[in-house]
Homo-oligomer: A and B are copies of this chain.
Amino acid sequence: MSEFRCDPISGRQVIIAPLRSGRPAAFAKAGGGDGRGSKPAYVENCPFCAGNEQMTPPELFALGRNGTAPDTAGWRVRVVPNKYPAVELRMVEQISENIPGYGAHEVLVEIPEHNRHPGSFPPRQMELVVETYYRRGRMLADYPDLRYLQIFRNYRREAGASIEHPHSQLLALPFVPVVVRRELERSQSAYLADGACPFCQLLEEERRLAQRIIVQSDTYSAFIPFAARSPFETWILPRRHAASFLETSASERADLAEILEELLRLMEHALGDPPYNYYLHSAPLRSAPLPYFHWHIELLPKVSIVAGFEMGSGVFINITKPEEAARFIQEKGRADYEQSWRKDLLYPCAAQSSTGREPG
């Protein structure tokens, strides 16, 4: 029997309508398996491969260079302007929502090699990626006309990536986008009514229930939300209240890299390397520390299609129960990683397992 659910943060309405074909195990090969290994580490005509730096606009930022010059090989993470930008930084007389598209649109090349994505990065590579999100974010926050920075990653063509080489994107705008503005407004209302950050409350409730949590560390919890739009939608929330990702400490960023990569690895193994999108929600650039908003990441493996009903109504139909989807991912994770070095990450449903750990 189906069920109406409403997401307390966004107000999104979802119909959870479990189907036989929506049993989590039915998605075990949703992604069609892992084709990464069969791809080469260097592709001659790939603009993001090390050695092909002249194929991109001049670089804006890089990490990991050992004395090599900009726009040559030797970097570990590299940021360049998007060659086909949706918006551009340039001189304009007056900035408003209605003027020609002012903003910044950058590509973050995550690794020199063509065939290694998060989940199979070498140790600490993901830290460099997250650190670059932060460093570029700080730099873009210095432009007084930019109001919001959207950081996002599209993985595989089916999820909108037109270039195969591992990369994220940063898009900064002179206004706060509507989805974020609604989250801010709703969170503020909840805070005024209850005197507490609704994200902090949600986090506490999810940890207490431990039914939808997928993986946790000391600093983050990742869970499938109560009103997930699609079977494996997952949010990562920091435990410590902070409205902006740009308020994080270096160690919080290192921890984020760890849990984010762990989550992507779990999804990859459980769902057969599915296409996905993730994005960061954070307070507007240069806003005061807000007591009601809480930065976070939303990850959506692409295992379903948004069609006429969803487009027309804004209501999503999810054919998998979030609680069952979470159990499936946890069990897969436990099976695959019981022996792994990442014992510091807790799988809450694994409490009965031989590790004897408490639920996170």
Contacts and interface: CB of A to CB of B under 8 A. Distances in A.
Interface of A: 1-6, 11-13, 15-17, 19, 84-88, 97-101, 148, 150, 152-154, 158-161, 169, 171, 173, 175, 177-180, 182, 277-281, 298, 300, 305-309, 311-315, 317
A327 B154 CA distance: 32
27 contacts: A1-B88, A2-B86, A2-B101, A4-B98, A6-B98, A13-B178, A17-B84, A17-B86, A17-B87, A86-B317, A150-B309, A152-B312, A154-B307, A159-B307, A160-B307, A169-B309, A173-B313, A177-B312, A178-B313, A179-B312, A180-B312, A182-B314, A277-B308, A278-B308, A279-B309, A279-B312, A281-B312
Contacts of A313: 148, 150, 171, 173, 177-180, 279
A1 B159 contact: no
A160 B308 contact: yes
Nearest to A311: B277
Nearest to A298: B312
B305 A160 contact: yes
Interface of A is mostly: mixed
A146 to B, nearest CB: 14
A154 B317 CA distance: 15
A189 to B, nearest CB: 16
Contacts of A13: 97, 175, 177-178
Contacts of A15: 86-87, 101
B312 A4 contact: no
Contacts of A308: 152-154, 159-160, 169, 277-279
